Amino acid sequence: MSEFTPTERTQVKRLPKRGRYDRETVHRILDSGIVCHVGFNVDGQPYVIPTNYGRKEETLYIHGSAASRMLRTVSAGIPVCITMTHLDGLVLARSAFHHSVNYRSVVILGTAKLVEEPAEKMEALRIFTEQVMKGRWDDIRQPTDQELKATTVLSIALEEVSAKVRTGGPVDDEEDYTLPVWAGVLPLETVAKPPIPDVNRLADRPIPDYLKSYSK
């Protein structure tokens, strides 16, 4: 299927025209990010924890230390809500009420499963590395058995998913268009700066091409 089926929980109700359910949009938003936020509830106390992630086809992976309370808790099969957002611009209207932001966001609902099969776990770690820096995995030392044991990997199926996107300029009340106030959009983007070599390097290495041309 080319689209996710909206559910009562993922149907965009506030400004529904901004809702997106096609897989292409959802995948593109996820693939161009690095950090997501994992929301879950423990004994009535909600938590929202930022973490790195990676996607392969219709599976999202998160990982961390085997001692992580979040990962231990979430791996027990409790419901989770995972969100990821890009901020693309500040929308400055003529009135305070109509100020907004341009953004692309994804919401994923489901439960997480512990990844224990060694080959899938190693593949998930490759995906995490490539999500941060495409091309990096082939350059670096890969995890040892001990490092694999010290790392917990969880998978979440992309099934109950929706995206929401806002683009364009401000939408003011008709009578406010004559106000002597500047209105428009201030675009925002993440820009990579020149790489800073590790001070502990034993020899100067050439900067990899994937780092020179980095973009998300």
Q: What's the number of CA atoms in the CB half-sphere (13 Å) around residue 96?
A: 0
Convert the pLDDT of each residue in 128-160 to its tens digit: 999 999 999 999 999 999 999 999 999 999 999
Q: What is the value of pTM for the model shown?
A: 0.92
Spell out the alpha helix ranges (H) of 23-114. 23-31, 69-74
Enter the CATH code of domain 16-187.
Answer: 2.30.110.10
Q: What is the pLDDT of residue 213?
A: 86
Q: Which residues contact 204 (CB under 8 A, 6 or more apart)?
A: 197
For the chain, domain boundaries: 16-187
CA distance 86 to 99: 17
Rg (CA), the chain: 21
Q: What is the pLDDT of residue 215?
A: 83
Residue type, 126: R
Kindly report the length of the chain: 216
Task: Dump the DSSP string for 92-106.
Answer: E-SSGGG-EEEEEEE
Q: What is the pLDDT of residue 177?
A: 97
Spatial CA neighbour of 30 closest among 49, 55, 12, 11: 55
Convert the pLDDT of each residue in 168-186 to its tens digit: 999 999 999 999 999 999 9
